[in-house]
Chains A and B, each alone.
Chain A
Amino acid sequence: MAEKMELNEVEVWDGNYAAAQALRQAQVDVVAAYPITPSTPIVENYGAFVANGYIDGEFVMVESEHAAMSGCVGAAAAGGRVATATSSQGFMLMIEVLYQASGMRLPIILNVVNRAIASPLNVRGDHGDMYAGRDSGWIQLDAFNAQEAYDLNLCAFKIGEDINVRLPVMVHQDGFLTSHTAQNVYPLSDDEAYAFIGDYKPVDEMLDFTRAVTYGAQTEEDWHYEHKAKQHRALMDSYTVIDRVFAEFKEKTGREYKRLESYLMEDAEVAIVALGSTVETALLAAKQLRESEGLKAGVVAPRVFRPFPFNEIRDALANVKAVAVLDRSCPMGAMGALFNEVSAAMYASPHRPLITNFIYGLGGRDFSLEDAKAIFREQKGHADVGYITTPLQQFSGLRGPKLGFYEMKRSK
């Protein structure tokens, strides 16, 4: 039996340690992992728990991230709880297997500590890896701070393993900004945390020898389409379970999560839509601007990046005049992905605010309070004149001459 750990009511943990603690409390059966900055401490801390008897499961240090996810798939098909962690290049190396894991409907938990993708090589946080996962068939939860990294890991197991979901789940946090910033975290006790998640219930397991199972079959044009559509539907429909788990979590802890978080949006005239730790920066900027300039600013943030909260975006932005959508990943020849999704949601709305796109923070470039305020003020300008005065896509915090693309075409 694994030794239990006595935790204080409040701990000072960074995002990585918070995630590692959640994995320990979930009593994961197999962790197959490979280190990469900035997610390495999750794996190292887990290793320390193993070395000190806090974990009963198997800890398999493999020779690459591709193997880490491959080992997770093999382990999950054998009917137990599985988790791992990675970032950036490691995430990219895993990608082939991410699709295989979701296609086989295996509820693996992957902590993605977001980091930029080479080249040029960069260890700092941006959302390149998170975005690269968006078509992979995984549920994607986004933590903005260490507490959320802990909470969302506990929720992730419960969501992914639900019999009506059976999908793998990524829990994202920002490299360094969240992963390496120590903050107050309120953990559950080991018993409470485990009781919340519950025992793992094997489905079609390879270790039940009364019933042969085939995982990873071949399907061509006769069946592949139906399988993929079914998988898509499972991901789309998973929101009901996500909502239920978030509600149960609130009941237990008082901490509330929504698939789309909205801050100061009741009377907002302008809004920023963003992901990750930036949400906290934008929210602080909104609060200060409300006080100092009377600017009715609000913030909207997908807590759940997949399944995308399409309807909730439409509702949240129903009354704003101008919106800036922030993408921390270089779209390379297109508008930002979050911008595209938000715009699509609003196009299907009778109310269409003015929407512009900001690329920002690539490779860990600081996104300051002032940057956020400047964006809010610019949106206010658009709201006042009733059209977009800037290029549709701009780069915030970039040195050198201003970079922007596409103008708004208006018919007067």
Chain B
Amino acid sequence: MALTSIKNLKEFSTANERFEGAHLLCPGCAHSMIVRELMNATDDNLVIASATGCLEVCTAVYPYTSWDTSWIHIGFENAATAAAGAEAMYKARKRKGTLKDPDAPVKFVAFGGDGATYDIGFQWLSGMIERGHDVTYICLDNENYANTGGQRSSATPVGAHTSTAQAGRVSYGKKQKKKDIVAIMAAHGAPYVAQLAPNKWKIMAKGFQKALETEGPCFINTVSACTTEWKFNPKDTINITDLATDSLMFPIYEIIDGRQLNILYRPKNVIPVEEYLAAQGRYKHLFKPENRHVIDMIQKEVNERWEYLQRREEAGV
């Protein structure tokens, strides 16, 4: 079913079955929602590369696969390059006339977790964007190395507890700020960069479509709530994501050609970040009196960032 004709969430969630429901991701894992939305966003053929991480280990355990499309996993750091290599081969074979069906429309997509994207695969991603491959790279940002048991990444926010940035008697968890990957990718001059969330599924689908239709390298950071490491009830994935977007912890916006910033979602009632933090076990320690200042600090940063995004949007530069 072409996406343009899809009206409601039910239709949308059953429109395309190229990603099988049978996989090993935790119940309530947002990774599969995002992947499914991406695959629903186009009727074209897909060549998908995935980095090592929860998505990969849970969807291609031999002799099974959840991928009813061309799919490749090489390693943790090189999903962007795997997709770039396939895209280069497509161009070469199209030119030489060796494709089985030269008219079959195809899109190249890479998925990486925040560890694969912000940390270990950062250089590979940067290279792919710089070289201008026609690849859409999607980061499934759950703010930790979930597959290996919840270690910090450079996407882990200040104050979160992870197994390698622990909250304890003398520590409130991670001290360093989250890396601004969206700004970095926009600074590469990528034609389309965005931050999207699966609770705002229509916005997300549109963003995915824009990225897929834009020629050249596109980057999208997606908020992917992780029930296991964020510590919330699996049935609350979308509720938690609502809190993330409505508290502006995860603003939803796009940047076109590295310049024009458009805010794609403005919460009617902005809620305090405290509500978002309180809903997850990974921030539990922040509610001790001695850590109150951390919550205040997070709120202040969120306010400043929102202010900045709005000004950038107004300025149109």
Give chain A interface residues in 221-269, CB to chain B under 8 Å.
223, 227
Quick check: is B298 within 8 A (CB to CB) of the other chain?
Answer: no
Quick check: is B84 within 8 A (CB to CB) of the other chain?
Answer: yes
Residue on B nearest A218 in the bound complex, by CB: B61
When chains A and B are docked, how far (Å) is the Cα of A56 from the Cα of B96? 7
Residue on B nearest A34 in the bound complex, by CB: B127
When chains A and B are docked, how far (Å) is the Cα of A67 from the Cα of B83? 11
Quick check: is B6 within 8 A (CB to CB) of the other chain?
Answer: no
The proximity string for A residues 8-47 relative to B, scoring 1 for CB distances below 8 Å and 0 otherwise, is 0000000000000000000001101000000000000000
Residues of B within 8 A of A73 (CB): 72, 74, 82, 85
With A80-B93, A206-B47, A206-B70 known as contacts, the answer to whether A75 contacts B85 (CB < 8 A) is yes
Give chain A interface residues in 47-92, CB to chain B under 8 Å.
56-58, 60-64, 66-67, 70-80, 82
Quick check: is A294 within 8 A (CB to CB) of the other chain?
Answer: no
Residue in contact with B85 in the complex, picked from A56, A60, A200, A219, CB distance below 8 Å: A60
Residue in contact with A206 in the complex, picked from B61, B72, B95, CB distance below 8 Å: B72
When chains A and B are docked, how far (Å) is the Cα of A79 from the Cα of B63? 22
> What is the distance, in angstroms, from B103's C-beta to the closest C-beta of chain A?
11
Contact (Cβ within 8 A) B72 A216: yes
Residues of B within 8 A of A78 (CB): 47, 85-86, 89-90, 93
When chains A and B are docked, how far (Å) is the Cα of A60 from the Cα of B87? 11
Query: How many of A's residues come within 8 Å of B, CB to CB?
Result: 47
Residues of B within 8 A of A58 (CB): 88-89, 91-92
Residue on A nearest B124 in the bound complex, by CB: A67
When chains A and B are docked, how far (Å) is the Cα of A321 from the Cα of B222? 70
> What is the distance, in angstroms, from A46's C-beta to the closest C-beta of chain B?
14
Contact (Cβ within 8 A) B84 A60: yes
Contact (Cβ within 8 A) A62 B88: no
Quick check: is A97 within 8 A (CB to CB) of the other chain?
Answer: yes
Residues of B within 8 A of A80 (CB): 89, 92-93, 98
Residue picked from B67, B72, B87, most chain A C-beta under 10 Å: B72
Contact (Cβ within 8 A) B126 A63: yes
Contact (Cβ within 8 A) B70 A213: yes
Quick check: is A292 within 8 A (CB to CB) of the other chain?
Answer: no
Contact (Cβ within 8 A) B88 A60: yes
> What is the distance, in angstroms, from B126's C-beta to the closest C-beta of chain A?
7
Quick check: is A119 within 8 A (CB to CB) of the other chain?
Answer: no
> What is the distance, in angstroms, from A302's C-beta to the closest C-beta of chain B?
30
Contact (Cβ within 8 A) A212 B67: yes
Contact (Cβ within 8 A) A29 B96: yes
With A30-B88, A78-B85 known as contacts, the answer to whether A70 contacts B62 (CB < 8 A) is no
Residue on B nearest A74 in the bound complex, by CB: B85
Residues of B within 8 A of A76 (CB): 85, 89
Residues of B within 8 A of A218 (CB): 56-57, 60-62
Contact (Cβ within 8 A) A97 B78: yes
Residues of A within 8 A of B84 (CB): 60, 62, 71, 74
With A30-B92, A80-B92 known as contacts, the answer to whether A217 contacts B81 (CB < 8 A) is no
> What is the distance, in angstroms, from B145's C-beta to the closest C-beta of chain A?
17
Contact (Cβ within 8 A) B67 A214: yes
Quick check: is A191 within 8 A (CB to CB) of the other chain?
Answer: no
When chains A and B are docked, how far (Å) is the Cα of A297 from the Cα of B109? 60
Quick check: is B101 within 8 A (CB to CB) of the other chain?
Answer: yes
Quick check: is A348 within 8 A (CB to CB) of the other chain?
Answer: no
The proximity string for A residues 95-118 relative to B, scoring 1 for CB distances below 8 Å and 0 otherwise, is 011001000000000000000000
When chains A and B are docked, how far (Å) is the Cα of A96 from the Cα of B69? 26
Quick check: is B187 within 8 A (CB to CB) of the other chain?
Answer: no
Quick check: is B206 within 8 A (CB to CB) of the other chain?
Answer: no
With A74-B82, A207-B90 known as contacts, the answer to whether A214 contacts B65 (CB < 8 A) is yes
Residues of A within 8 A of B49 (CB): 74
Which residues of A pack against B, CB within 8 Å? Answer: 29-30, 32, 56-58, 60-64, 66-67, 70-80, 82, 96-97, 100, 200, 202, 205-210, 212-220, 223, 227
Which residues of B pack against A, CB within 8 Å? Answer: 45, 47, 49, 56-57, 60-63, 65, 67-75, 77-78, 81-93, 95-96, 98-101, 104, 106, 123-124, 126-127, 130-131
25 interchain pairs, CB-CB under 8 A: A29-B89, A30-B89, A58-B89, A62-B81, A63-B130, A64-B123, A67-B124, A70-B81, A71-B82, A71-B84, A73-B72, A74-B85, A77-B82, A79-B93, A80-B92, A100-B74, A206-B72, A206-B86, A207-B89, A207-B99, A209-B70, A209-B104, A212-B69, A214-B72, A216-B60
Top 5 nearest A-B pairs by Cβ distance? Answer: A74-B85, A63-B127, A78-B89, A216-B73, A206-B70
